[in-house]
């Protein structure tokens, strides 16, 4: 029992402390939940107020919806009434349109009938006279159309004949071109004449005058020169045409590179042979003292000249060493134009000299005229002196002729005029 009493005595403080803790915890819990309940009460009061406001809003919305539904009913009623009115107006409009159309058709028919009747009764002659010029113009127009059609048909026939003629000429031209090509390829004489023809055409359009500033087919020492172009101060240039065509044509026609190189080399050698042949003729010596120390070798086919240079780039230098200048239509034309300008300058210089000569002659003639005019003045002065002396003898000396004649008039001689001597 003593042990149990000690246990109770030792546990009593703990029990008291536990009871006090429970009381304090209960108080704290009460205070906590009391505050929570107060907050919840306040929230509940707010919710009741908001619920009351929501209820008022709902009632107001229902009133507005009711008014809106009533407005919709009224608007629908008005719409139906408006549609009814529009339908009635549309039907009335259609009826009025039909009635108006019928009235207009009747009125138009009446006006047409009345106008036709009046036109037939009153204006038949006048209408005929007014329509006559129109009918006459229409008839003239019809005749003009017939004439144009006839002329057009004739022109078409003429055009057809011209086209046939052109076709025939084209055929002939093709034939002649083929013949010329064949001749140029196979006949050296034809090639030579063709080159000379191209050279002469180039000379004709250069501005030089044939017979005075150049000549063709000149001969000297049994050698014939294709052309001789004269320069001022009695100088001249000899031009000879060469047509290296055979190997060049073969080169152009070849399709294989080996053949092209072969014919190109042969073409270059052919042009070089022409240079050697022309150099051997010694044309500059034929016009001793006049010709320049070279001869122009004219190649009328510029691509052939370019191909020769391609085969032999030193060809121009080699020809110059042989006293030969290679030329094509374009380069020769430039040279001839330069020569033409030289002749123009030469003629201007000659004109200046002639003007100077004529000016000197005119000055001398004026000097002689002035001398003669001075002599005439002296002669006029002598004539004036002789005239004064004669007047004095006639009128101033005693017993002069005029005085005697006046005495005869005073003595009664019948006269009609008086003698008056004007000096």
Q: Where along the chain do its domains lie?
A: 191-350
The more confident residue out of 31 and 88 is: 88
Output the average pLDDT for the chain: 75
Let me know: does 164 contact 225? Beta carbons within 8 Å. no
Residue range 399-413: mean pLDDT, rounded: 66
Judging by DSSP bridges, how do beta strands 223-231 and 291-298 pair with one another? unpaired
Residue 107: the pLDDT is 65
Residue 298: the pLDDT is 92
Return the top range by mean pLDDT from 10-14, 78-82, 101-105. Answer: 78-82
Condensed to tens digits (0 to 9), the pLDDT of residues 156-169 reads: 777 677 667 766 66
Residue 318: the pLDDT is 92
Residue range 313-321: mean pLDDT, rounded: 91
In this structure, of 112-121, 145-154, 171-180, 341-350, the range with the lowest mean pLDDT score is: 171-180
Residue 134: the pLDDT is 62
Residue range 52-60: mean pLDDT, rounded: 76
Q: Which long-range contacts (CB under 8 A, 24 or more apart) does 262-265 make?
A: 264/307, 264/310, 264/311, 265/311
- Quick one: pLDDT band at residue 53, thresholds 50, 70, 90? confident
Per the rule left: phi > 0, alpha: psi between -120 and 50, beta: everything else, 232 is beta
Residue range 240-266: mean pLDDT, rounded: 86
Q: Is the pLDDT of residue 412 over 70?
A: no
- Quick one: pLDDT band at residue 119, thresholds 50, 70, 90? low
CA–CA separation, 259 vs 133, rounded Å?
84
The more confident residue out of 275 and 418 is: 275
In this structure, of 73-77, 110-114, 175-179, the range with the lowest mean pLDDT score is: 175-179
Return the top range by mean pLDDT from 6-10, 155-159, 224-228. Answer: 224-228
- Quick one: pLDDT band at residue 118, thresholds 50, 70, 90? low
The backbone torsions φ and ψ at residue 187, rounded to the nearest 5 degrees and listed phi first, read -125, 110
Q: Which residues 6+ apart lie within 8 Å of 294 measured at CB?
A: 284, 320, 323, 324, 325
The more confident residue out of 196 and 40 is: 196
The more confident residue out of 423 and 59 is: 59
CA–CA separation, 16 vs 18, rounded Å?
5
Residue range 106-118: mean pLDDT, rounded: 64
Task: Report in angstroms the alpha-carbon separations of 156 from 150, 152, 165, 364, 408.
Answer: 10, 6, 14, 74, 106
Residue 297: the pLDDT is 92
Place of tokens 């000549």: 215
Task: Report in angstroms the alpha-carbon separations of 126 from 111, 116, 120.
Answer: 20, 14, 11
Virtual torsion, Cα 354, 360, 365, 371, nearest 10 deg: 180
């Amino acid at each position: 029992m003593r042990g149990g009493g000690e246990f109770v005595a030792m546990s009593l403080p703990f029990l008291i402390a536990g009871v006090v803790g429970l009381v304090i915890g209960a108080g704290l819990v009460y205070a906590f939940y009391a505050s929570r309940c107060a907050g919840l009460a306040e929230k509940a009061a707010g919710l009741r107020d908001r619920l009351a406001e929501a209820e008022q809003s709902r009632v107001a919305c229902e009133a507005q919806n009711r008014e809106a539904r009533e407005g919709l009913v009224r608007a629908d009623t008005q719409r139906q009434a408006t549609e009814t009115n529009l339908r009635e107006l549309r039907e009335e409009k259609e009826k009025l349109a039909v009635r108006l159309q019928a009235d207009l058709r009747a009125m138009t028919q009446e006006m047409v009938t009345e106008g036709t009747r009046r036109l037939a009764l009153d204006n038949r002659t006048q209408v005929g006279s007014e329509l006559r010029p129109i009918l006459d113009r229409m008839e003239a127009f019809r005749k003009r159309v017939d004439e144009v059609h006839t002329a057009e048909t004739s022109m078409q026939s003429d055009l057809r004949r011209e086209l046939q003629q052109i076709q025939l000429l084209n055929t002939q031209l093709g034939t002649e071109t083929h013949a010329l090509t064949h001749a140029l390829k196979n006949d050296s004489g034809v090639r030579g004449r063709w080159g000379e023809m191209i050279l002469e055409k180039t000379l004709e359009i250069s501005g030089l005058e044939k017979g005075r500033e150049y000549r063709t087919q000149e001969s000297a020492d049994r050698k014939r020169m294709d052309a001789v172009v004269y320069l001022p101060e009695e100088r001249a240039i000899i031009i000879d045409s060469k047509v290296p065509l055979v190997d060049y044509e073969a080169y152009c026609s070849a399709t294989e590179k080996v053949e092209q190189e072969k014919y190109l080399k042969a073409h270059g050698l052919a042009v070089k042979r022409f240079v050697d042949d022309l150099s051997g003729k010694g044309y500059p010596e034929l016009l001793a003292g006049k010709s320049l120390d070279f001869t122009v070798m004219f190649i009328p086919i510029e691509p052939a000249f370019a191909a020769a240079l391609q085969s032999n780039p030193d060809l121009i230098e080699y020809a110059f060493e042989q006293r030969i200048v290679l030329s094509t239509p374009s380069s020769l034309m430039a040279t001839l134009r330069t020569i033409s300008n030289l002749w123009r300058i030469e003629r201007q210089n000659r004109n200046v000299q002639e003007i100077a000569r004529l000016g000197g002659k005119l000055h001398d003639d004026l000097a002689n005229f002035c001398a003669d005019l001075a002599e005439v003045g002296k002669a006029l002065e002598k004539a004036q002196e002789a005239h004064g002396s004669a007047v004095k003898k006639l009128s101033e000396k005693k017993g002069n002729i005029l005085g005697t004649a006046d005495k005869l008039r005073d003595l009664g001689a019948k006269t009609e005029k008086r003698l008056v001597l004007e000096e």
